[in-house]
Amino acid sequence: MTDLARITFAKPRAKLAGTVVAFIDESLALGPQATALGLGDLVARAAAAADFKGKTKSVLDLLAPAGSDLDRVILVGTGKTAGLGEKDWCDIGGATMGALGRTKAVTVLFERPDGEPAGKFAADFALGMRLRAYAFDGYMKDGNDPDGGPAKEPVKVTISVEDLSAARAAWTVAGAGGEGTLLARDLVNEPPNVLDPIEFAKRAEALKKLGVEVEVLTEKEMKKLGMRALLGVAQGSVKPPRLVVMRWNGGKAKDQPLAFVGKGVVFDTGGISLKPGGGMQDMKGDMAGAAAVTGLMHALASRKAKVNVVGVIGLVENMPDGNAQRPGDIVTAMTGRTIEIINTDAEGRLVLADAVAYTEDRFKPKFILDLATLTGAVIVALGHHYAGMYSTDDDIAAALSAAGNATGERVWRMPLDTAYDKQIDSKFANVKNAGGRDAGSITAAHFIKRFVKDTPWIHLDIAGTGFGSPQTEVNRSWASGWGVRLLDRFVADTYEK
């Protein structure tokens, strides 16, 4: 990852030079700082010439007038400013970063054009800039950008805001979520010959420097625990599996932990049920759930969240081999429940079956929430804008929906109904790992649910949002880092009050 934005916050200054960003609303009004620069007439004439209406995220780029210490003025539209929320300001931050080009330094006059207090949104704006500035270019020859030009240099961003203390305090939280998101993007973007289960586990262990307790279970230890479902997926690969347990103890010792479990299939060929060759390179991203959990633990530890959290990730590679699992095999999960393998490409749910059972048995958490790029069926249902959410707890589902709407990482609740269980009943074992084409995402969720006892459980199918999702104002990367900000916000709003 290349850091393309170095952000600081400062009090407004009377004299400015270089490049300045100012906000302008749909009435073409400027804020107090921008007005004090004497730009009113220039802005009015330029806006009329360009038919600029000040719509949200629109940009008007001006050369500063002769005799001014300014070189460039970038006007960013806010539309109807009074209705803007944190997601809107985050998107405006991304749009602003996208308009900077190769600017080396910029001062952002962070103020609402109507003069109302805006300091609490400065961190959201900065987060948008930070997320948009992300570039995964470490493998570019000679450090060049994808277009073949010289490598970009980081831009120094100074956000000039009146309520400096509030902005800095908010950035402590928002910035932590942003860094966790960028970590998740890095993990998902890494090539599979680099990020195998062992290397992924090492990167998770790096969280120790933030105070996270990290434990790595080997294949031998998982065999003793009876994790034959997870191990069955890994047996076709020369890369040994790992189960990583990350613990952040920011709450009281007596508090039940919150548990997050991530699917970490570092590369998925489909195994014996081999996937088509076209697009298979994208299956390096089949560990986006594990990446999100790792990024979340980074965010929580960075901001010293006052809550106990455990993150568990099952790391495997699914390969076709003489020793690979076959359709028709029957394996025994950690719970003792037997599984008939119908399709070796329905492997993520096998990893999660053992991972959620282990998490429930060992940690007795308040709830278990798992994330997985689990099914193509959820993309058919929801496209790439929402993740599918399955929950046995209405209150948690509602809190997740609210956090999704606030951050823009949105979820849509899908049904859990015993009628779907018939599709995964097996003639030869307790359950089969695939229920056919109909309701594929739902039956996959029902499969995982069978390995959870009484703990409230939530499953997020992020196949449509974890990678390859639509480009947005705050993400120009193939990997989105989806889920980190959603879950960080969910934890903060629901369990840290």
Residue 56: both structure tokens together: 């949200």
Q: Which of 381, 389, 393, 440 is nearest to 410 (CA)?
A: 389
The pLDDT value recorded for residue 35 is 87
Max intra-chain CA distance, the chain: 84
DSSP string, 324-390: S--TT-EEE-TTS-EEE-S-TT--HHHHHHHHHHHHHHHH--S-EEEEE---SHHHHHHTTTEEEEE
Say if 171 falls within a structural domain: no
The pLDDT value recorded for residue 2 is 67
User: Is 168 a known active-site residue?
Assistant: no
Instruction: Determine which one of 168, 202, 275, 450 is catalytic.
Output: 275
Residues 155 and 184 in one domain: no
Residues 98 and 214 in one domain: no
| Domain count within the chain | 2
CATH code of residue 231: 3.40.630.10
Residues 223 and 231: beta-carbon distance below 8 Å: yes
The pLDDT value recorded for residue 1 is 65
Instruction: Name the E strands within 361-466.
Output: 368-372, 386-391, 410-413, 431-432, 457-461
Instruction: Determine which one of 57, 130, 242, 349 is catalytic.
Output: 349
The pLDDT value recorded for residue 90 is 97
DSSP string, 161-202: -S-HHHHHHHHHHHHHHHHHHHHHHHHHHS-TTTS-HHHHHH
What is the arrangement of strands in the sheet containing 457-461, beginning at the earlier edge strand? 213-217, 242-249, 308-318, 258-268, 368-372, 457-461, 386-391, 410-413
The pLDDT value recorded for residue 147 is 55
Say if 173 falls within a structural domain: no
The pLDDT value recorded for residue 140 is 84
Range of the domain at 50: 5-164
Residues 136 and 269 in one domain: no
Residues 245 and 139 in one domain: no
Say if 463 falls within a structural domain: yes
Residues 402 and 476 in one domain: yes
pLDDT under 70: residue ranges of the chain = 1-2, 142-151
Say if 169 falls within a structural domain: no
Residues 182 and 114 in one domain: no
* Per-residue model confidence as pLDDT tens digits over 45-88: 899 999 999 999 999 999 877 778 889 999 999 999 888 999 99
The pLDDT value recorded for residue 145 is 57
Say if 170 falls within a structural domain: no
User: Is 202 a known active-site residue?
Assistant: no
Count Cα atoms within 13 angstroms, Cβ side, for 293: 35
